[in-house]
Structures are given as structure tokens and as C-alpha cells.
Amino acid sequence: MASRADFLPVSPEDMRERGWYYYDFLLVTGDAYVDHPSFGTGVISRVLEKQGFHVAILSQPDWHDTAAFLRMGRPRFGVLINSGNIDSMVAHYSVAKRRRDRDAYTPGGMPGKRPDRAVIVYANRAREAFPGTAIVIGGIEASLRRFAHYDYWDDGVRRSILEDSGADLLSYGMGERSMTEIARRLKKGEKAGDLRDIRGTCFLAKDPSECAFSPALTLPSFEEVRDDKRAYAQAAFTQENENDFVRGRALIQPTGGRFLIQNPPALPLEGKELDAVFDLPYARWYHPDYEPLGGVAAIEEVRFSIIHNRGCFGACNFCALALHQGRYVSARSRDSILREAEKIVADPDFKGYIHDVGGPTANFDHHVCKKQKTHGACPNRQCLFPTPCPNLEADESEYLDILKKLRAMPGVKKVFIRSGIRFDYMLQDRKSDFFSQLVQHHVSGQLKVAPEHISPRVLHYMGKPYADVYDTFCRKYYALCEKHGKEQYLVPYLMSSHPGSGLKEAIDLACYLRENRLKPEQVQDFYPTPGTLSTAMYYTGLDPRDMTPVYVARTPEDKAMQRALLQSTNPRNFDLVRRALRLAGREDLIGTGAHCLVPPEKQAKPQKQGGERTAQTGRNDRRPAGKPQKKTARNGKQNHSGRKR
């Protein structure tokens, strides 16, 4: 177990133990302090430490006054602020806007240890505590709120987080390059207000001529996107389309008499640079101060897992990765991953199981095509949607080689893949036997995949492959399971109420689940978070890609009926399902026939506990009575449960 000396200072006493009589940067975070490469605070603090800077950590401070900020004295160069690994509003509230009762990133799971809109609150407190000191905001909350953006909790458009926070600079995306450059130049004596030419940063200017990059595009102003939904949709599409480190241009958005200027994205780390970040001396644990408080639950998911890559060319419309990490995939070297695996194996609590080797998408291990590195991602099409691009280089050989090397390591019993896998990409791979190896060695009973829906209309708005691709994948998966004698199942993720999904589409999905005898225990409602094209659809009712109208489920009743339809076998949902079916004119699905979703009122009875089971119990819930397990697998059917996001 890591000792206090393995962490960066969190108190004046820690600083004295290190012999520090000053420090350079105060890093303020809304999460508990976990020194691990899966946590942004751990990465940025260690990267700056490697450059020779003294960094102190202020984790989840009391924000009601400046006392906590002043405790370690004034930093020499600046205050760096993030809300944690999750947007603070998402961390606090469910999609139904109910306050969550637990926070996995807080000691003991205690809720309420960070404020709503944490970046804004912390930045304002830091400005009070240290007038004249540079303040730089970053992390997921700042990155995805860098432009004027729709805020689900306000149900309106908010201006850039730079304005509300009063920060000098915003570092967006993966911040190692931009934060290192900012730190070096502040050390040289430059003022934060003069740092106008650093890629991967945003700032507010009095005049657009302060933009150091050319050419630059001017977006609709904050006032325009606030008052005109068409302008909002246009701006959202441009922001995502220009988020490319090769061809992306600087963006300028007028706001309140000033100008938000976003410099082009930072160059991604590759090869030795990326390896160097993961080779830094992380304690790989939460700070020992949290032990008596119950520890930090978030570490458990990543403690024995390895990050393999960054970026995602899948670019699902409801995912913020395209605007945050971008579509360019870079991966670590095999040697770097094996070095990290050695550290994991040396952990006294390691039981032989590496839980995951992945990233945003586990089986993306290189950029999508030869042209992307020099020409950027194509501005006029997606790499996998609606069909895979002819230039796609689908080859999982390098990833498979890493997995084989990990499996062969002394002390390793199993290597699992639990982060997302793009099944459409896997079906395109003709160069490796990754699919077969996955089934034989890397599934822990259940494989998580994300078809999300089966309606062509909804999948079009999601930017996801159509249902026939998923069905092909399922057949091949279960055929391979039978071939290799594996009793393993699929756990597909489903989403209700995504833009484009009305009652008809929800009913189509419910019928698909009934036909395949699938019983999701959980279904995730679409959550409109900042920075995604799907959120732009939700707010504007327009598809930003072509400006055509999109149906949006907005009322609690509409959302509840869609969710109930996806769990129509649950007796508690019968009334809602019948109401939805009658509204849609589908009374034919109410009855006792094999094609029906729910029984009529007079025959509705609570189901007995037990009976059919879902994938979460490790049993197949689709097995026809009297049929052996393998017969079901041969038919290509899949077990199902939903995800909790």
C-alpha cells in the first residue's frame, strides 16, 4: 500500500517533509486525490513534476470561503482547476435531475463534497484568495463547456465557462502538451493574459485580431445561439468538425462584447511521449488520508486495468469524446503496457486477473487510415457510419499481440476486456483472429457491447451501425462460443428517448426484445450532456449534420413510457406499456398471444420471483423450455441486460 510520501503534498506539513519552502502550482480538483493514470489530476500533476515544477494538491476543498485555498500559501505561478473525472452536474444529478445519493469519486461515497458547477466555484474562490495569480481551468467539465452550450439542468444556453469562471486560460482535450507549455512560459515570467498562441487552449479577448492562428472561423455569437436554435445547431456541428489537430482551424465566438478564441487542438501524444506519461511514478492508489473515511470506490474499476489507447474514430453522436479527445487514435507501445502490468502483478492484492486493457474503444489500436495523420479525419463523413469507409484499416493484430504477451506473464491468470468494443469494426478485420481470441480468452462470462437501439431512424441520429450488423455479430459470437466450448453471453447496452426515438421506435425495440427473449434489467435514458451533437439535437430539434427536424422526447411521461416499453416484462410497467401502446395505436400488442407485449388489465398478475434470468446472473434467459443451452447459442441469440451510466 502506498505511503504518504508517495503522493504529492496536500498540506503544509507534507511540503516541509519534502523540504519545500515554496511551490509552483496549486492543483484544485473536485475529486478525491487519486494518484493513478486514469485520473486527470494524477496525470497532469505528475507531468508537471517531471518538468521540475512543485505541485501541491487541493482536493475537494470547502468552497464557502478562501481558507482552504490559502492553507498552503500562494503558488508562485498559478492555480490549475478541474471538477474531477466527471462533469460536476452529471456527478450530482441523474437524468431525471434527482440528486444522487453516492459519489464514487469521494471518500466513503459521500455526496455533496464538491459544489455544483465546481470549476466556476473553485475558480472564483481562487481569484479571491490569490488576486493577480494565473488561473487555468481544464478537465472534462471545462473542456466540454468551452463554447456557449446548452445546459440540461438550466434548460437553456449558458455562455462559455471561461466567462463565468473568470479564468485566464482554458486547456481543452488531453492537456499534457498545453499545460506543460503554459507552465514553462509562466515560469519564464510571461503573463497568463499574453499566452495567446498555445494549441489546445481557449481565452477571452477584446478583439478577434488577438487570434494567433490563421485561418480562423467565426461562429455564431453567444447571443445568436441563445436566441436562435438553428444558429446553435450550426455552431455545434462546426465545433465538432473542426476538432482535428491536422485540419482544425481556430474558432472565434463573439460573446458579450468580447471574443472567445479557441486555438486549434494540441497535437496528440504518440509513441515514446505517450509511454512516458504512463511510466511516471504514480502511487496507483488514493491518498492515505481517505483510508479511515472508507476509501475511494472509483479506484476499484481501474486498479487492475490498463489504458491502452486514446481517441475514438467511432464518433457516436451522443458521446463527448469527439469534442474532447478527438477522432485520432494513438496507442501505447507493447513494452509500456507490459511495464505497467508488472506493477499490477507486484501489487499484494492482485489475484491474477487484469480486469481490462482498453480505452474509449478497446479494439481501436491505431489511427483509422493512412491519410488521417497527414490530412486529418474526413470533414464530410464518419469512419464507421453509416457503413465503414473503404479506406478503413481494420487490423487488431498489434492489440492482440499485447493481449497474448499479457496472458503469458507470470502471475497473470486471465486478461479481460471490459471497456467498449466496436463490433462493426471487429467484423471488418480480415487480418487477425482477434474475434476468436476474444471469445477464447478475454470474456469474463459476459461481453459488453453497445448496439443502443434497433430502429434505423434512431441509429441514424446516434451515428451507430444498423441492426443487421449487430445481428451478424451476435451470430458469429455465439457460433465461436459453441466452437470453443464457452458458455458466455452478450450484455448489450440500450438507450431510450434518444432524439429520433418516439413511441413507434420504442415499440419496435420492445418487439425485438420480445422476439429474442431478452429482458434488460436496466435501461439508460438519453442524458443531454454538454458538447455532443445529440445534445444539440435534443435542444434544437434539428440534426446539426443536415439541419432537418428531429423528434425529441421531452416530457417525463414520454420518457417513462419509452423506458417502460424496453422493460415490458416487468409487471410494474404494465400500465405504462398499455398506455403507450394505445397512444401509438398498437392495441394488437396487448393480450395473451405470443406476439403481445403485455396482458390486458383483467389478466395482469404479478410474476413469481425466479424463473427466467438475465445475463447478470450468468444464465441465459432466452432458452426455450426443454432446449439445451448450446442449441440457443447456435441460434445466435444473445442474453441481455442494460447499463447503468
Per-residue model confidence as pLDDT tens digits over 260-277: 999 999 999 999 999 999
Distance separating alpha carbons of residues 560 and 562, to the nearest angstrom = 5
Strands (E), 455-527: 489-496, 524-525
**AA letter at 399:** Y
Contact 452, 462 (CB under 8 A): yes
Contact 10, 57 (CB under 8 A): yes
Distance separating alpha carbons of residues 454 and 465, to the nearest angstrom = 9
Burial label for 2, CB within 10 Å (0-12, 13-18, 19+), is middle
C-beta pairs of 347-352 under 8 Å, 24+ apart in sequence:
347/284, 347/303, 347/304, 350/304, 350/411, 351/413, 352/411, 352/412, 352/413, 352/414
Judged by DSSP in three states, 373 sits in helix
Looking at residue 381, what is its pLDDT?
85
DSSP annotation of 420 reads -
Distance separating alpha carbons of residues 328 and 243, to the nearest angstrom = 10
Looking at residue 605, what is its pLDDT?
57
pLDDT per position as a tens digit, 132-187: 999 999 999 999 999 999 999 999 999 999 999 999 999 999 999 999 999 999 99
Residues of the chain with pLDDT under 50: 609-645
Looking at residue 380, what is its pLDDT?
80
Half-sphere exposure of 454 (CA within 13 A, CB side): 17
**AA letter at 165:** S
Looking at residue 582, what is its pLDDT?
97
Distance separating alpha carbons of residues 271 and 278, to the nearest angstrom = 11
Looking at residue 603, what is its pLDDT?
58
Q: Delimit the domains of the chain by residue range.
A: 4-202, 489-645
CATH number of 4-202: 3.40.50.2300
DSSP annotation of 114 reads S
Looking at residue 639, what is its pLDDT?
37
pLDDT per position as a tens digit, 370-381: 899 999 999 888
Strand order in the sheet with 25-29: 55-59, 25-29, 78-82, 134-137, 169-171, 201-205, 258-262, 250-255, 216-218
Distance separating alpha carbons of residues 287 and 511, to the nearest angstrom = 49
Which stretch of DSSP H or E encloses residue 258? strand 258-262
